[in-house]
Chains A and B, each alone.
Chain A
Amino acid sequence: MVPLSRKQGKKCQRFRRKAAALFGKSTGAFFDSMKDKEEDIVARLHDSATAYAAFSEVVREYSEQLYWQIRRMVSDHEDTNDLLQNTFMKAWAGLDSFRGDARLSTWLYRIAFNECLTFLSRKKSERLLSIDDEETSDAGKLESDPYFNGDYAQRLLQESIGTLPARQRMVFIMKYFEEKKYEEISEIVGTSVGALKASYHHAVRKIEKYIEERL
């Protein structure tokens, strides 16, 4: 994706306003309606009569995007499935403690993030290998993974992401693949925006170096 020029950026903004108007709402009202929708779901989640149905909607809405986030963190489908289930089970169990201070998606991402951290640290302690050996074992896994269809460059990218520390990995994935803003990542990870920018910058350098050495 080539960065847009200023003129192109303004054209893009005009197009977005037109697109929002096509839905019969103004730009501001469009995003307000999305916010209202989330507030409505949160209200229904706190009512025991409608909680189950509301949670079902939440699972449908967020399971795919959380899945891909976790998958890029841990690579393996089965591990991702387990972590995703744990994330939603914990969200269900902790519904009473969710007061709507943060967005629902942010709250779910935070749970998923903590689950991934726990999983990766447990995996690391279980392995009796050095850092270099970790890289080799991850590379072998991707090659034999039936649910991985990427080319060599994509495999290298995924392997290099696997060499990053867990937090840095999460930051890189959210910024590079999902194009989240630093402010949003900060809410999820609990780190300042400045630290996130530095972390992302270092992650990019490490990945570029890893790929250059092997391509």
Chain B
Amino acid sequence: MKQEGEILKRCGKGNPFRTPEGYFDRFHEDLMKKISGAADVSDALRLSPGSSAPRRAEAGLSCLGKTSFAVLFRNVSVYWRIAAVLVVAVSLSCFIYLQGEGSKAQDPVSYRVAVSDDEEYTDEEINVIIEESCLDDYDLYQLVSDAK
């Protein structure tokens, strides 16, 4: 400490600067608000729940603004969002599947045969239909006798 003895003697080590009143408390509050805002935005970007938190401040996404949807989106945890998307996807798949089954139930073979009783087919048309059915004569006989 000897080499700066002269400076010490003349100027000392006192702090000539000061801060506005309550600065450090306000600083802490403002900073943590910014960080929590940045963390929520980065959460919205993350799609896989198992990944480690990137915690990067996405300045560009601050343009999401303060719309009610954006606020709701930001406040809901990412796990709940993924769960909601999965529930919607499963419901939609079930709906489509059941719709398909329902239309088949409305159109059974016997119904088709009953309707076709009043129609007349040519021999050629009958041959094509029988070939496409992949049934032999015995099976066809069984089918027709059951239908009656």
Chain A residue, CB-CB nearest to B54: A96
Interface residues as binary, B17-44 with A (CB distance below 8 Å gives 1, 0 otherwise): 1111000100110111011101100000
Cβ contact within 8 Å between A176 and B32: no
User: Which residues of chain A (82-111) have a CB below 8 Å from chain B?
Assistant: 84-85, 88-89, 92-93, 95-96
Task: Tell me the complex Cα distance, A196–B50, Å.
Answer: 46
Complex contacts, A157 vs chain B, CB 8 Å: 7, 10-11
Taking A3-B1, A85-B31, A157-B10 as known contacts, 15 extra A-B pairs with beta carbons closer than 8 A to each other, sorted by chain A number, are A64-B24, A81-B27, A96-B53, A96-B55, A148-B16, A148-B17, A148-B18, A156-B11, A176-B7, A177-B13, A200-B3, A207-B7, A208-B7, A211-B10, A211-B11
Query: Interface segment, A8-16, A50-58, A118-126, A185-193?
Result: A50-58
Cβ contact within 8 Å between B34 and A89: yes
Cβ contact within 8 Å between B27 and A84: yes
Interface residues as binary, A147-170 with B (CB distance below 8 Å gives 1, 0 otherwise): 111110111111000000000000
Cβ contact within 8 Å between A211 and B1: no
Residue of B7, B24, B52, B56 with most chain A CB atoms under a 10 A cut-off: B7
Task: Tell me the complex Cα distance, A72–B34, Å.
Answer: 26
Q: How many chain B residues have a CB neighbour from A under 8 Å?
A: 35
Task: Tell me the complex Cα distance, A96–B42, Å.
Answer: 14
User: Which residues of chain A (67-87) have a CB below 8 Å from chain B?
Assistant: 67-68, 71-72, 75, 77, 81, 84-85
Q: How many chain A residues have a CB neighbour from B under 8 Å?
A: 46
Contacts A59-B31, A63-B27 given; indicate if A211 touches B7 (C-beta within 8 A).
yes
Complex contacts, A7 vs chain B, CB 8 Å: none
B8 within 8 A of A: yes
B2 within 8 A of A: yes
Complex contacts, B55 vs chain A, CB 8 Å: 48, 51, 92-93, 95-96
Cβ contact within 8 Å between B13 and A147: no
Complex contacts, A72 vs chain B, CB 8 Å: 17
Task: Tell me the complex Cα distance, A93–B35, Å.
Answer: 9
Q: A149 contacts which of B16, B32, B36 (Cβ < 8 Å)?
A: B16
B131 within 8 A of A: no
Q: How far is the CB of B25 from chain A (nearest CB, A)?
A: 9
User: Which residues of chain B (38-69) have a CB below 8 Å from chain A?
Assistant: 38-39, 52-57
A37 within 8 A of B: no
Cβ contact within 8 Å between B7 and A77: no
Q: B3 contacts which of A89, A93, A201 (Cβ < 8 Å)?
A: A201
Task: Tell me the complex Cα distance, A3–B4, Å.
Answer: 11
Cβ contact within 8 Å between B24 and A149: no
Complex contacts, A139 vs chain B, CB 8 Å: none
Cβ contact within 8 Å between A56 and B15: no
Task: Tell me the complex Cα distance, A186–B56, Å.
Answer: 29
